[in-house]
Structure 1
Amino acid sequence: MLFSCTSNTVEITLGVSKELAEYRFSNYSNIHYELHFELPEEKEADIFATSLIKVTLKDNTKPLILDFKANDTHIDNLIVNNETCSYDYIQEHIVIPNTYLVEGENKISFQFKAGKQSLNRNKDYMYTLLVPDRARTLFPCFDQPDLKAKYVLSLDMPEKWEAIAGEYATQKETVEGRKLLVFGETAPISTYLFSFVAGNFKKEEYDDGKHKFTMLHLVDKEKIDKNKDAIFKLHVKAIDWIENYTNIPLPFHKLDFALLPPFQYGGMEHVGAIQYRSSSLILDENAGDTEKLRRAQLISHEVAHMWFGDLVTMKWFDDVWLKEVFANFIAAKAVEPSYPEINHDVQFYVSHQYRAYPIDRTEGTHPIQQNLENLNLAGTLYGAIIYSKAPVVMAQLEEIIGSEALQLSLQNYLKKYAFSNATFDDLINVIVETTAKDIKPWADQWVKKAGMPKYKLSIEEDNLVIKTEDIGWSQIIKVNNTTVNINSANTSAPLGKAGNYPLDQSAKGYGYFELAADLQTLLIKNIANYSDKEAMTVYGNLWENFLHKNIAIETYLPFILERLKVEDNSLLKKMLFGQFKEIYWYYLSKSERTKLTKKEFPIFKNLLEKSTTNTLKTFYLKVLISLDHTKEEYAFLEQYITQKNTIPTISDANRIALFMKLRMEKLATSREMERTVANNLSSDYYRSYLTYITPSTSPDYIERDAFFEDIKNVKNRGNEPWVENGLGYLNHPLQAANSIKYIEATLNLLPEIQKTGDIFFPFGYLKNSIGKRTEKSVIKKVHQFLEHNNIDDKLEAKILQNLDPVIRRNQFTEML
């Protein structure tokens, strides 16, 4: 359907086109929603609801377009301005004829059956998750971020249930085992930030006179008692720090949160009702400083969104990175004072450069800011470039203009666009106005151009020489504490004392640094003398050189193994462990793995037994679990699946991971062993996970085939991390020969995965399928799939990102 607006003709298409969004923004304003949901106790029962929408129209000569991705029969008794209204349902939109509309305020009321796609329903509880364009799958709305609205929500639900939403609630009445909660009117927020959580939750409350929180959870008393004080205090610290940094009090009246066992992300920043994955906040007794820091960063990230994303929201999802870059950047700053024992330069590098490179080195890389024509593809924008590369660019910006100037610029930005929307260019204009520095050319290069700069590093006459052909990527790094601006083809700086690694990449330097052979030798030889920050850069750069075939495996694998045993920084130890697993499983043959295990298993077992902390013992146990085992190693590992009390204690997740590994190795395949493992688990959640995941490692191909077939049914993909893990096991090198047959079907299912899954699922789905392969035939199958299917370019990019390690593994094999 086409209709004319002031300057052109707008086509009504599936999703929410940028064209439609721009038309509505120019014509619709002062939007209010009053939503009422009747929540049944039964998981499969329909949810009936009513809605009253108030919207001011500048022009009433055009039809009004609401978004609703559900069957049109879900709408009933539509009344517009007190008149029963007929309407058209076209391409996921409710089209109300202009004859029912008036210039100025319009009132639209109706009954509807709530859509189910983004109303995540479990036994005894449910939660909404509407980012980025899923509000329209739940209720009719104007589903675009720049049409902010005020909401009044009411929930009719079982009397024993608890609920949180964007405002405080008043309980109106209790009738026949039911109760009605009416939540106050919210501040103006985008549709994707509307949310509620309701169910048979346990409730914890905190009130120190200044901060007041309610936490809903399903955690047993012992675990919640050990964690709740830390969780509450981390929220307090995050709020206080960010209020001080921004000079703006918490922008919304309250901040509650829910801990959900199966949750698609680490957290989601719904206004007044943050949702967290329970396991991200509930730590066990073996948790070390890095795990505690990660929890603090997650909480600070979601709290930071109350300002960056919720108060000021990107105008369109092509700038979704804006809210994520500030949340990550601010979170890193906010947690630093509370963890003086952590090297935060190392933490920043591991969380950002090191996570961005695996995407930015691929054919599927993309700019930080991406073009988006339709909101139904917004989910494909998410990934390591916006979450990890963008904060590095922000750190560079801070280096260029100074930390105080950046802070003042962000304060001005938040005040100027409070409860409104802003673009990347709006941000840059504020910074230019605040600092009088023209940073636009630099910002456009880093934000609007794909890829990363490439440098060649060598030693010449006691100088570190940096050569590049990518002159446009101007950036500041430090060489022996001397600031160097790389903006020319050749840059050099004194090496400093012999053996020192002069390149400081702590929070700023970004790119592929190709190391000359003599520089590689210098780094490997002197690694024991380096600071944590220097070692971090060495490990990261040597790894990139290995993946670019610039350092031999015969050199690098022994180096990693040795450092894995002696490195005492837990973040660096984890980095090395990841590198080791990639080489061990994808760059070594079966016989080489067996030989290495026979040599190294006793060494790491001895390290486990001699370690003085549970955290370190747990780390070495993970190393032992990661190896390819025989009956000889099984004799030691068996206790960790058959006994409840072990040294170190083993988490449910690690116990299941070990059991799955032993099943793939045909060392623990009996039903009796499965029952033993289930009995040793501490939670029903993990017992359900074990039941779900076990067929993926079955010795019986019929069970594995059935597991894969089940994934094709959207109803069996409700817990997406479970699906990803199952695919990872199916495609593991230990089962690769028997699972190559799934590759074509895996690819054919991808478009549906993108449509029905949450924002991170397509990437995780690909990472745990084609991303786990080594066969050259997989490369061919992927290219054939792309050639014969009209795949959106952003989804194609995710395919290429996950094909990259397969290509590199094959290139390594061809070199042998």
Structure 2
Amino acid sequence: MPSFRPAPQTRCARPVAGPVRPALAVLLWAVLGCHPSGGGREPGPGVARALADARARTVSGVAYDVTLDLPATRAAPVTGRVAISFDWAAAGEDLVLDFRAPADLVGAVTVDGDTVVPRLVPDHIIVPARALAAGHRTVTIGFTSTDAALNRQDDFLYALFVPDRASTALPVFEQPDLKARVSLALTIPAAWDAVANGALVSRDSSAGDGRHRLRFAETAPISTYLITFAAGRLQRLTAERGGRTFTMFHRETDARRVARNADAIFDLHAQAIAWLERYTGIPYPFAKYDLVAVPAFQFGGMEHPGAVFYRADALFLEEAPSRPQELGRASLIAHETAHMWFGDLVTMRWFDDVWMKEVFANFMAARITRPAFPDVDHALRFFRDHHATAYGVDRTAGANPIRQDLANLRDAGSLYGAIIYQKAPVVMQQLETAVGDSVFRDGLRAYLGAHRFGNASWPDLVAALDSIAPLDVAAWSRTWVEQPGRPTVTVRWDGGRVLLQQTDEWDALQAASAGSPGRAGAPATRALRWPQERIDVLLAWGATTRVVHARLLADSASVAVEDAPPGAPDLILAGVDGQSYGRFPLDDASRATLLARAAALTPALHRAVAWQTLHEEMLDGRLPARALLEAALAALPGEPDELVATQLAGLVRGTYWRWLPDATRRAVAPHVERGLWRALDGAPTPGRKGALFGTIVSVTITPDGIARLERIWRRQEVPRGFPVTEAMMQAIAEGLAIRGVPDAEAILDEQARRLTNPDRQARLAFLRPALSADPARRDSLFRSFAHLEGRRRESWVLDAVGALQHPLRAEAAIGRLEPSLALAEEIQRTGDIFFPLNWLNAALGGYASPAADSIVRRFVQAHPDMDPRVRGKLLQASDELRRASAARR
């Protein structure tokens, strides 16, 4: 991405080759001059809210006609021209367009065919007022794109503009509430194919120069972050479902893998569209539904209307996938399809409400997937998919509210995270419970109908619901949507009654971290009340159990227990409904009982809540890590539900690496490895065996265990009951290298030869220095990440950092920790939306020592001017390090 001087002078575009004769261009340059008009202040970098609001009042009816020339070589620039048509209501004012590129990448500029000389300031092209009369205008600009959002490879590229990166590729109005109709023409090498938002209208090869010109149809009105195209060596697969044609573009070279997955991929899309049409009462709103399977895509998916992008391996599952993997694919497809209505048809006015499109995509996905998986406990799945990840943020000093302020669109990427993806659906489910599902659906239908192909904000939906709901939605929102954190709900027995008392966990954290730099400026106390319509409490007296349904709308609640056995219960476990949200601490007796009996609870949802609660107890220092590890490992072989088994495997893996001191880990490793192999041998399905095998590959450190994995990689031993896939073999090879086996380089050489897909070959080649036993090679790779070009393939970079900072190497590599933290702000500015937090998680994930915790604390204290959102992400990523290191002190 180009860099700009912090306080640049106003610049003028110099005359460039174009439709204007050179002499006339020079005359225009002299006459128009180069100076700010009217002495007004120039717009700053990014798109400030004030600029966006002003444009929304004065610009309407926008259309982009974009022509791009895509060269065959990555080293050659992408060039283009855009004709921007719009209605202009601000005669006498300058027009500000957004283009985040150096001045020399701006070509000829015309207004209604007349050449003008714009002023160029960082991130903007300013068309002078004297060139613009009120009415319908067309501004045409020639340009050279930067590569910041074009994700270019030698024979493939794709545009990813979310949230504010369209302006790195072409001049636009970069704000979500100036929707536009988009026409696109691409000139590409003859051997390439391409896909875009609009349908392909024509492909012209008449020039005879080995290049083809593709013209795509004009789209319905969409926001700039949704504009996209992909081009390169692509294969197509087309299918019809329910009278609708779907086309999938991909680069997968394993034809059997494609064939094995294709029907399910198309079926799931068709089912999702049909469900959403029924729920919303609105037919699918766009002209086509193509999908693009992108190798090593930065996200799971991206909802470009007409050309939805997916991470290829999320669609093309390997042989004998686990049930959670199949569910994950279905949810991803349902999520992106829900965006066609929630986010694409109706879009937030400003990115402070980006959470709205994500919450409804996840919320709807949880419902869409139910019919395709009738054997799955979907209440359990909702709990597993949302609560633990959201708690991982809300319990930290870096917690953020669901709805966050945003002064400038350049910071929009910092708003994404677990709170909008995981907490918000839980909160929305609580709102649906409070108002009733039919009222909730009717409110959403009214909201979508009133704003179709337009923009709306959270207050618009609140107003729609408040008009028909029995709840004061605005008051409810002030806590659940506009504040960070979660309640702490303490439950105790009082002679035949259950007493629930809530406090604000934020207040306790604030008191515990008084003076901490992470909470500087935070309110000392808030004393919030978190209303919840339903909190189920499990009570157990030996084998006798009761479940009590409680409403907690005030500071406390009391519920009578009918037919309660005499005496106090052995176990009090709150939140077993799987919808309620908060920290539910255990008393001493309940903790001991639950640790012994969690595996025996029924139904499966109760077990999942139990294991999550025990994990929270460990994080709070109220349960020894080894006790939790032993309990989870013992429960794993007999766990009948695959979702809970996956949860247990994750607990074993996370506790083993993060919470056990090195000496303890080495001591228990033989026992842990035997226990996991025993669970694998007894697993009932190939998919479940394969998932457990992944855990074994992750945790194995004993000589015997490493030798067995090497035999499997060399195909001298074949595990029974499941296929050892290419991805598993690659994971073994990488793990053997990290563990320093003597012939690691030869193993990696052979693994590279086994790979047949060029994208997977390229990933392994990139990763090789991170896997090397040579510290100099590892350091050289790490230093390359300080440069933007070294970070282009973000998913590969994260894999490399995970290998560099693996727990087996982390303490020896602790010198990289502070430089990793120092890069976070730069990565926030230049990376895609999930990259900053993922970078910090990868950099910190291998550490648990007090020394590493001290480095983080000193870094935060030494940088009081750190971007607050980056500081928040650092506090989120380092929270478990802080807790684990405290347990070791």
TM-score of the aligned structures, taking structure 1 as reference length: 0.96
Q: Cα distance 1:599–1:771, how it changes in 2: closer, same or farther (>3 A)?
A: closer
Residue 109 (structure 2) aligned to one of 56, 78, 88: 78
In structure 2, the partner of 1:812 is 887
Q: Cα distance 1:531–1:14, how it changes in 2: closer, same or farther (>3 A)?
A: same
In the aligned structure 2, how far is the partner of 1:587 from the partner of 1:172?
59
Residue 598 (structure 1) aligned to one of 670, 679, 684: 670
Once the two structures are superposed, the pairs formed by residues 475-486 of structure 1 within 5 Å of their partners are: 475-479=532-536, 483-486=549-552
Residue 615 (structure 1) aligned to one of 668, 671, 687: 687
2:774 counterpart of 1:741 = no
Residue 24 (structure 1) aligned to one of 41, 44, 55: 55
In structure 2, the partner of 1:204 is 237
Residue 383 (structure 1) aligned to one of 417, 422, 446: 417
- Structure 1: which amino acid aligns with 2:579? K
Once the two structures are superposed, the pairs formed by residues 220-259 of structure 1 within 5 Å of their partners are: 220-259=254-293
In the aligned structure 1, how far is the partner of 2:184 from the partner of 2:218?
8
In structure 2, the partner of 1:776 is 850
**1:642 positional shift:** 1.9
2:553 counterpart of 1:487 = yes
Q: Secondary structure at the match of 1:150?
A: strand
Residue 296 (structure 2) aligned to one of 262, 274, 293: 262
In structure 2, the partner of 1:370 is 404
2:273 counterpart of 1:216 = no
Residue 419 (structure 1) aligned to one of 449, 453, 462: 453
In structure 2, the partner of 1:785 is 859
Once the two structures are superposed, the pairs formed by residues 627-776 of structure 1 within 5 Å of their partners are: 627-643=699-715, 646-647=718-719, 648-681=722-755, 683-776=757-850
In the aligned structure 2, how far is the partner of 1:478 from the partner of 1:468?
12
In structure 2, the partner of 1:106 is 137
**1:196 positional shift:** 0.8
In the aligned structure 1, how far is the partner of 2:68 from the partner of 2:854?
50
In the aligned structure 2, how far is the partner of 1:577 from the partner of 1:606?
13
In structure 2, the partner of 1:397 is 431
In structure 2, the partner of 1:158 is 189
**1:88 positional shift:** 1.0
In structure 1, the partner of 2:875 is 800
Residue 179 (structure 2) aligned to one of 148, 152, 157: 148
2:331 counterpart of 1:297 = yes
In the aligned structure 1, how far is the partner of 2:768 from the partner of 2:681?
30
Q: Does the CA-based 8 Å contact 2:825-2:867 persist in structure 1?
A: no
**1:601 positional shift:** 2.2
**1:55 positional shift:** 1.7
**1:28 positional shift:** 0.9
Q: Does the CA-based 8 Å contact 2:319-2:725 persist in structure 1?
A: no
In the aligned structure 1, how far is the partner of 2:249 from the partner of 2:357?
26
**1:394 positional shift:** 0.3
Q: Does the CA-based 8 Å contact 1:669-1:698 persist in structure 2?
A: no
Q: Does the CA-based 8 Å contact 2:535-2:577 persist in structure 1?
A: no
In structure 2, the partner of 1:319 is 353
Name the stretch that deviates more: 518-527 or 8-17. Answer: 8-17
In structure 1, the partner of 2:589 is 518
Name the stretch that deviates more: 187-196 or 70-79. Answer: 70-79
Q: Does the CA-based 8 Å contact 1:297-1:332 persist in structure 2?
A: yes
Instruction: Summarize deviations over 1:404-441 as a string: whole Å, max 9, x none.
Output: 11111100000011111111111100111233542210
Q: Secondary structure at the match of 2:467?
A: helix
In the aligned structure 2, how far is the partner of 1:596 from the partner of 1:578?
17
Instruction: Summarize deviations over 1:370-416 as a string: whole Å, max 9, x none.
Output: 11111111111100000000000000001000111111110000001
Q: Cα distance 1:428–1:505, how it changes in 2: closer, same or farther (>3 A)?
A: farther
Q: Cα distance 1:417–1:4, how it changes in 2: closer, same or farther (>3 A)?
A: farther
**1:499 positional shift:** 6.8
**1:568 positional shift:** 2.1
- Structure 2: which amino acid aligns with 1:734? L
Q: Does the CA-based 8 Å contact 1:253-1:272 persist in structure 2?
A: yes
2:529 counterpart of 1:472 = yes
Calculate the aligned-residue CA RMSD, in Å: 2.2
Q: Does the CA-based 8 Å contact 1:662-1:668 persist in structure 2?
A: no
In the aligned structure 1, how far is the partner of 2:855 from the partner of 2:595?
39
Q: Secondary structure at the match of 1:736?
A: coil
**1:501 positional shift:** 6.3
Instruction: Summarize deviations over 1:734-760 as a string: whole Å, max 9, x none.
Output: 102221111222122222211221000
Q: Secondary structure at the match of 2:237?
A: strand
In the aligned structure 2, how far is the partner of 1:639 from the partner of 1:112?
56
Name the stretch that deviates more: 481-490 or 356-365. Answer: 481-490
Residue 583 (structure 1) aligned to one of 637, 655, 673: 655
- Structure 1: which amino acid aligns with 2:880? P
Q: Does the CA-based 8 Å contact 1:329-1:391 persist in structure 2?
A: yes
Name the stretch that deviates more: 472-481 or 315-324. Answer: 472-481
Q: Cα distance 1:585–1:79, how it changes in 2: closer, same or farther (>3 A)?
A: same
Q: Does the CA-based 8 Å contact 1:476-1:485 persist in structure 2?
A: yes
Residue 64 (structure 2) aligned to one of 14, 33, 51: 33
Q: Secondary structure at the match of 2:80?
A: strand
Aligned residues: 813
2:317 counterpart of 1:283 = yes
Q: Does the CA-based 8 Å contact 1:55-1:106 persist in structure 2?
A: yes
In structure 2, the partner of 1:186 is 219
2:319 counterpart of 1:308 = no
Instruction: Summarize deviations over 1:341-398 as a string: whole Å, max 9, x none.
Output: 1111111011111110111110000100011111111111100000000000000001
Q: Secondary structure at the match of 1:302?
A: helix
In the aligned structure 2, how far is the partner of 1:745 from the partner of 1:598?
36
In the aligned structure 2, how far is the partner of 1:668 from the partner of 1:649?
27
Q: Does the CA-based 8 Å contact 1:669-1:699 persist in structure 2?
A: no
Residue 568 (structure 1) aligned to one of 636, 640, 665: 640
**1:615 positional shift:** 1.6
In the aligned structure 2, how far is the partner of 1:500 from the partner of 1:128?
54
Q: Any stretches of 5+ residues in structure 2 without a counterpart?
A: 1-8, 11-34, 505-527, 537-545
Q: Does the CA-based 8 Å contact 1:4-1:62 persist in structure 2?
A: no
Q: Identity over aligned residues, as a percent?
A: 33
Q: Does the CA-based 8 Å contact 1:145-1:315 persist in structure 2?
A: yes
Q: Does the CA-based 8 Å contact 1:383-1:760 persist in structure 2?
A: yes
- Structure 2: which amino acid aligns with 1:793? P
- Structure 2: which amino acid aligns with 1:145? P
**1:83 positional shift:** 1.4
Instruction: Summarize deviations over 1:205-252 as a string: whole Å, max 9, x none.
Output: 112462111110011211111111110110000000000000000011
In the aligned structure 2, how far is the partner of 1:606 from the partner of 1:440?
53
In the aligned structure 2, how far is the partner of 1:254 from the partner of 1:283?
25
In the aligned structure 1, how far is the partner of 2:711 from the partner of 2:571?
45
Q: Secondary structure at the match of 1:155?
A: strand
Q: Cα distance 1:645–1:587, how it changes in 2: closer, same or farther (>3 A)?
A: closer
Name the stretch that deviates more: 522-531 or 94-103. Answer: 522-531
Q: Does the CA-based 8 Å contact 1:81-1:101 persist in structure 2?
A: no
- Structure 2: which amino acid aligns with 1:557? L
**1:502 positional shift:** 6.0
Q: Secondary structure at the match of 2:76?
A: coil
Q: Any stretches of 5+ residues in structure 1 without a counterpart?
A: none
